Amino acid sequence: MSVPVIAIDGPSASGKGTVASRVAAALGFHYLESGALYRLVALAGGDAPERVAASMDVEFLNRKILLNKHDVTDYLRNEAIGDQASEIAKLPAVRAALLGRQRGFRQPPGLVADGRDMGTVVFPDAVLKVFLTASVATRAQRRHKQLNDKGKHATLAALSSALEERDKRDAARAVAPLKPAADAVSLDSSDLTVDEVVDQVLNKYRERMVR
């Protein structure tokens, strides 16, 4: 039997990272934050991103991410890096170079993977595919709070328009556009707490496993 994968895809600030890592912890599964790989390619820089994607040395530790042995955890979540990542993510050669790396995270007893194309491209045979959404207003508020907690500031209006820009770019690109897999369950988290979303995902997974 193959190692089970739960794919959690969705737009920027939909909460997929928080939900995916909590679901992974609850099940004792591995966790892949695929967006971090695109961010790492952006952070590593250089003029041949597909080569960087293939050769960069990355380690995901408990709470830290190392790039070529340096702790880059604090730089990775930067908005500018996110924007560059979204540009780089349009390149088919970069996506192809990251495919094998991502699939390498599929180790027993299971994997929870979050991103834009986990259910459509990287793990098409995932046992459960969740497409997590939330309204732009909710997502902008969440991002606002996250930034505030880190002592950084941005207006809600600026965050909303940046999110809409990012959504458009991710949905319009030719390769692996942001869209739910045909067999994905859509979950709108606008009016749900993190605990409620995590519970719904766990319940859906358990339903699948008893069938």
| Sites of contact with ligand CDP (CB under 6 A) | 12-13, 34-36, 38-39, 82, 85-86, 89, 115-117, 166, 170
User: Residue 73: CB partners within 8 Å, gap ≥ 6?
Assistant: 63, 64, 65
Per-position DSSP letters for 102-143, written without gaps between them: HHTT--TT-EEEEESSIIIII-TT-SEEEEEE--HHHHHHHH
The answer to whether the CB of 113 falls within 8 A of the CB of 34 is yes
Q: How far is the CB of 58 from ligand CDP (least distance, A)?
A: 14
Q: How far is the CB of 38 from ligand CDP (least distance, A)?
A: 4
Q: How far is the CB of 42 from ligand CDP (least distance, A)?
A: 8
Residue number with CB closer to ligand CDP (145 or 206):
145
Q: How far is the CB of 53 from ligand CDP (least distance, A)?
A: 12
Residue number with CB closer to ligand CDP (4 or 15):
15
Q: How far is the CB of 181 from ligand CDP (least distance, A)?
A: 12
Q: How far is the CB of 211 from ligand CDP (least distance, A)?
A: 27
The answer to whether the CB of 209 falls within 8 A of the CB of 109 is no
Q: Widest CA span of the chain, in angstroms?
A: 49
Per-position DSSP letters for 88-103, written without gaps between them: HTT-HHHHHHHHHHHH
Residue number with CB closer to ligand CDP (56 or 170):
170
Phi/psi region, residue 176 (left: phi>0; alpha: psi -120 to 50; beta: rest), is left
Residue number with CB closer to ligand CDP (1 or 177):
177
Phi/psi region, residue 28 (left: phi>0; alpha: psi -120 to 50; beta: rest), is left
Residue 12: count of CB within 10 angstroms of its CB? 22
Residue number with CB closer to ligand CDP (165 or 207):
165
Residue number with CB closer to ligand CDP (36 or 198):
36
Can you tell me the distance from the alpha carbon of 74 to that of 208, in angstroms, rounded to the nearest whole number?
A: 37
Can you tell me the distance from the alpha carbon of 27 to that of 137, in angstroms, rounded to the nearest whole number?
A: 31
